[in-house]
Structure 1
Amino acid sequence: MSDTQALLAALAAGCALVALFAAWRQARRAGRRHLDAVGWVDWTTVQMAALIALAVLAGLAFKA
């Protein structure tokens, strides 16, 4: 595995962690007691962006 592949794989792993964190935060947001107390971060969008970045980076890591 080259240095470029290792870097891309590490970035893909970071995106996976961000996606998992966003999923956890969205689950907590969905189960909140006070329905009017919403946050300012749309965790679903963060999760989808992280998953798209994960797919692109993983594809580049395995292609290179």
Structure 2
Amino acid sequence: MIDTDLVMAIAGSVCAFVAAIAWIGDHRRMKRRDLDRVGFMPWTALFFISLMGAVLLLGISAKDWFSR
């Protein structure tokens, strides 16, 4: 693996981790008991952006890895 491929794979893994945390946060927000306690964190947008980053970065690094 070239250094840029490794950097993209690490960044994609971090994005996937952030997406998992945001998914858990969004799930907890949807299942809250007190509906008046709304949060300030945009979990859905954070999940979507980090998931797209993870898919793109891991896809590009996997394409370069499998082409060898």
Q: TM-score w.r.t. structure 2 length?
A: 0.84
Superposed, which structure 2 residues align to 1:1-64 within 5 Å? 1-64=1-64
- Percentage of pairs with the same residue: 36
Moved over 3 A (4+): none
Root mean square deviation, CA, Å? 1.1
Which amino acid is 2:51 matched to? L
Unmatched segments (≥5 aa) in structure 2 = none
Deviation, structure 1 residue 60: 2.6
Quote the offset at 1:20 in angstroms. Answer: 0.3
Amino acid aligned to 1:14: V
Residue type at the aligned position of 2:49: A
> Which amino acid is the alignment partner of residue 47 of structure 2?
Q
Deviation at 1:41, TM superposition (A): 1.1
Gap regions ≥5 residues in structure 1: none
Relative to the length of structure 1, the TM-score reads 0.89
